[in-house]
Amino acid sequence: MKAEVVVIGSGISGLTAAALLAKKGKRVVILEQNRRPGGALKRFTRRGIPFDIGFHYSGGMGKGEILRALWKYIGVWPRLAVLPFPEEGNENLRIMDSGKVVRAFFSYDRLEDELQRVFPGEKQGIYAYLNKIREISNTIPFFNLDLPLTPYLHDLFSPKGMSLAQLLMSLIRDTDLHAVLSTPVFLYGVPPREVNLTIHASVAHPLYSGVYAIDGGGQAIVDAFLATLAEAGVDILTGQKVESVLIRGNQVAGVKTSEKEIYASHVIYTGHPTSLLDLVPGEIFRKAFCNRMRNLINTDSMFIVFGAIDDPDTLGDLTWINYYNIRTGLDIMDLDLRHPEKSIMINAPGRRDSDSTGASGGVLLIRMSVWDEVARFDQGVREKRSAAYRKWKAESADKMIEQAGRLWGDAYSRIEPLAIGTPLTFRDKLGLPMGATYGVRHSMNQFSPGVRTRLPGLWLSGQGTLMAGIMGASLAGMVTVGEIEGLEPLWYEVRQCR
């Protein structure tokens, strides 16, 4: 089989890259090792209730904003029904230490009003923080589309500058407010003491500018891409595990899967950069590169209860409000397993669907998790899990449900778990090493991987190479195609679509 470009992985970065290349007239083949394409954007159903895995909401879809422009350019935008969060939508943040509740609205102005109401002594700090985020976002081309991409990307990977924690400590004294302004870290997985302001602003700014759901959830995004790709003649081969990258001379020649060889002069790898090393013969990369990729620090994982409730109306305003119970201070991501009260979050993306009825009582109960919690149950990817693992999983879920009931009302204690995701699940279903939800940690303590590799024709993409999350991964797909086809001309065309 022949193509010009093979894209390995059909998550949002692979789908984006493939659609852009097809638009440029390239013959593209996507390889996906799972049965269904879509990566973390996929939905699954239990008892007829749809559950989103990785897509809960996103910024960047307003008029003139980046995802809207990029997806318009690709041609998927008209296939999507975008649902802006209503004004009253917010992240309802409860600080467990003080019991204080803050509604973090998805708007700079409303957020500022709320924060000044709850923290009247910190008016100046609040203003200065929000202003700083706005100021930084204005230097990032994804949020100021008139800027060129190249200088920004060139600078992005050097871990330098001030951390989010340093900024917050310099402006604000109240530790509850530190926690509140740190909560966007849950959307990219880097602790406040390790993240620089550019990475933080890349998530916080779109969050403060307005967020959106998609009718039909992440699956609707996958389906829109698949329809566009089918029209463009892109082949998607599922159930195809890539065994190796083929090399001729000192150049990529294609890939070999369990079933066939596909010849192509470019290969884009969207999986975790560490697992790329398994596909390329040892002598191709230098030891320094292999060691760096092998030692990358990853984000932590999550524990998710996908549950149902008999009487969804009793859940109140859960549709457009995400409830969080968090620790005070800057270490809000720390998972202290001995601590009796855990940071926990609940939301219900499926309830936002236009055809959502009483039957769609699906809720997601989420907490941080780490590999250490499940390491003892790991018997390899294909092994059947042990009874001890199932018992631990069920007990952990029960504890979270009990806690949710205590925190947000009795109705929540009646959640019935229909599926449970642990670090093991995310490793095996999504190919994330140790279940690292957001892949490579974009930390000030390390250099994130770039798009280019030493092997001509072999390119990296995915959230590890640019930014985490759906926006980060989709933009990563664009940047990788830009590196192949010419960055600024592509960027110029994309931004014409705003």
Partner 1 sequence: MISDEQVYQQVTQIMAEEFELEPESLQPDATLYEDLGLDSLDAVDMVVALEKAFGMKMTDEEAVRSVRTLADLFDLVCRLKNRQVTKE
Per CB under 8 A, residues contacting partner 1 are 157-160, 286-289, 291-292, 295, 446-447, 450, 452-454
The residues facing 369 across adjacent strands are 301
**Closest approach of partner 1 to the CB of residue 454, in Å:** 6
The closest of 387, 395, 185 to 303, measured between CA atoms, is 395
Minimum gap (Å) between residue 138 Cβ and partner 1: 22
Least distance between partner 1 and beta carbon 465 (Å) = 13
> For partner 1, which is the closer residue by CB, 92 or 274?
274
Determine the Cα–Cα distance for residues 300 and 318; give it in Å rounded to an integer: 26
Q: Min. distance of Cβ 286 from partner 1 in angstroms?
A: 5
Residue with smaller CB distance to partner 1, 265 or 446: 446
The first and second tokens of residue 404, run together, are: 């949710």
Q: Cα-flanking dihedrals φ and ψ of residue 24, to 5°?
A: -85, 5
Measured CA to CA, the distance from residue 144 to residue 68 in angstroms comes to 14
Q: Which among 154, 70, 149 has a CA at the least distance from the CA of 474? A: 70
What CA–CA distance (Å, rounded) separates 125 from 168?
A: 8
Q: Which value, in Å, is the radius of gyration of the alpha carbons in the chain?
A: 22
Shortest gap between Cβ of 327 and partner 1 (angstroms)?
29
Cβ density class 182-201: b for 16+ within 10 Å, e for less: bbbbbbbbbbbbbbbbbbbb
Widest pairwise Cα distance in the chain: 67
* DSSP character at residue 322: E
Q: Which of 190, 308 has the CB closer to partner 1?
A: 190
Provide the minimum distance between the beta carbon of 289 and partner 1 in the complex, in angstroms, as a whole number: 5
Residue with smaller CB distance to partner 1, 63 or 160: 160
Nearest alpha carbon to residue 304 among 470, 56, 121, 37: 56
Nearer to partner 1, 197 or 494 (CB): 197
How many other CB atoms are found less than 10 A from the CB of residue 130?
Answer: 19
Cβ distance to partner 1 smaller for residue 125 or 191: 191
Of 163 and 257, CB closest to partner 1: 163
Q: Assess contact for 219 and 186: CB atoms under 8 A.
A: no
CB of 267 to partner 1, least distance (A): 17
Work out how close the CB of 296 gets to partner 1 at its nearest, in angstroms, rounded to a whole number: 10
Q: Nearest approach, Cβ of 285 to partner 1 (angstroms)?
A: 9
DSSP track, 400-457: HHHHHHHHH-GGGGG-EEEEEE-HHHHHHHH--GGG-TTSB---TTSPPP-SB-SSTT
Q: What CA–CA distance (Å, rounded) separates 125 from 180?
A: 13
Q: What are phi and psi of 99, to 5 degrees?
A: 75, 0
Is the CB of 241 or the CB of 286 nearer to partner 1? 286
